[in-house]
């Protein structure tokens, strides 16, 4: 399931371009504080969260309006999100204050085809620790292997998702605990079983999904990338 959290900026200061870690920290704090003894549900293991975040997206031609998404397959996490991110609540993302103006819960349509990133995909070389982006040799194969390893780890079955094509868009420079990483945005053509594709949509692709990395959705979302921040042109079903 995905929850779209609608925001209205309070004041004139916009969210920082490099806001992923701040958003992830703010959301996690709210979820943990509203977990009512079920905070362990926020983590599927010691190494991965049970939800994924998009970046903050501004709504085109509506100053101060924005949104982000939370994806999860965990019913307990969904209840925590619905309780914690209530309308009229103030959300502090770095030095920017937002008011939550509404929530929309929906089951994303998932089928083989084109997908787009709502937050950049973070991959790292295990030996060097360096970020892996589209100009790294064999990026498409590395991305496919990462997806299928996640599926094997959490669904306990061999992953069979195929990355037929990857069209790179922006490479995002982001900061996580004072360390700079590079993460890749793009559009991709995926083939595979619906269950496995839905897992990727609800859990994210790559590292640090709860810090605003690796959210992918079916490409019915038309994103205009004329400037550094993504402007929502059409969120179908919204």
Domain hosting residue 168, numbered range: 113-225
Q: Do residue 157 and residue 74 come from a single domain?
A: no
Q: What is the Cβ-side half-sphere exposure of residue 95, based on CA atoms within 13 angstroms? A: 6
Q: Do residue 65 and residue 128 come from a single domain?
A: no
Residue 96 dihedral angles phi and psi, to the nearest 5°: -110, 135
State yes or no: pLDDT of 172 exceeds 60: yes
Q: Do residue 146 and residue 102 come from a single domain?
A: no
Q: Do residue 124 and residue 217 come from a single domain?
A: yes
State yes or no: pLDDT of 176 exceeds 90: yes
State yes or no: pLDDT of 232 exceeds 50: no
Q: Find all residues with CB under 8 Å of 71, minimum gap 6, and list them.
A: 1, 2, 3, 51, 52, 53, 54, 108, 201, 202, 203, 204, 215
pLDDT digits (tens, 9 = 90+) for 116-131: 999 999 999 988 989 9
pTM for the whole structure: 0.87
Of 4, 19, 7, which Cα lies nearest the Cα of 176? Answer: 19
Q: Do residue 126 and residue 183 come from a single domain?
A: yes
pLDDT digits (tens, 9 = 90+) for 200-228: 999 999 999 999 999 999 986 444 333 33
What CATH number does residue 188 fall under? 3.30.70.1900
* Residue 41 confidence class, pLDDT cut points 50, 70, 90: confident
For the chain, what's the residue count?
A: 238
pLDDT digits (tens, 9 = 90+) for 47-87: 567 899 999 999 977 788 999 999 999 999 999 999 999 99
What CATH number does residue 37 fall under? 3.30.70.1890
State yes or no: pLDDT of 45 exceeds 80: no
């Amino acid at each position: 399931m995905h929850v779209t959290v609608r925001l209205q900026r309070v004041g004139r200061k916009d969210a920082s371009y490099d806001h992923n870690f701040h958003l992830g920290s703010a959301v996690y704090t709210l979820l943990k504080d509203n977990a009512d003894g079920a905070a362990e549900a926020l983590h599927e293991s010691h190494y991965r969260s049970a939800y994924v975040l998009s970046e903050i997206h501004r709504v085109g031609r509506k100053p101060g309006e924005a949104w982000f998404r939370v994806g999860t397959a965990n019913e307990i996490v969904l209840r925590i999100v619905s309780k914690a991110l209530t309308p009229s609540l103030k959300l502090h993302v770095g030095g920017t204050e937002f008011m939550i103006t509404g929530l929309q819960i929906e089951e994303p349509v998932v089928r083989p085809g084109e997908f787009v990133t709502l937050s950049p995909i973070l991959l790292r070389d295990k030996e060097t620790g360096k970020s892996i982006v589209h100009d790294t040799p064999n990026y498409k194969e590395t991305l496919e292997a990462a997806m299928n390893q996640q599926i094997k780890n959490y669904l306990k079955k061999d992953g069979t998702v195929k990355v037929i094509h990857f069209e790179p868009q922006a490479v995002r420079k982001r900061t996580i605990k004072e360390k700079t990483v590079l993460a890749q945005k793009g559009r991709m053509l995926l083939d595979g079983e619906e269950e496995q594709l839905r897992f990727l949509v609800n859990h994210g692709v790559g590292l640090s999904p709860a810090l605003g990395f690796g959210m992918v959705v079916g490409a019915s979302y038309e994103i205009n990338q004329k400037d550094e921040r993504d402007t929502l042109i059409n969120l179908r079903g919204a």
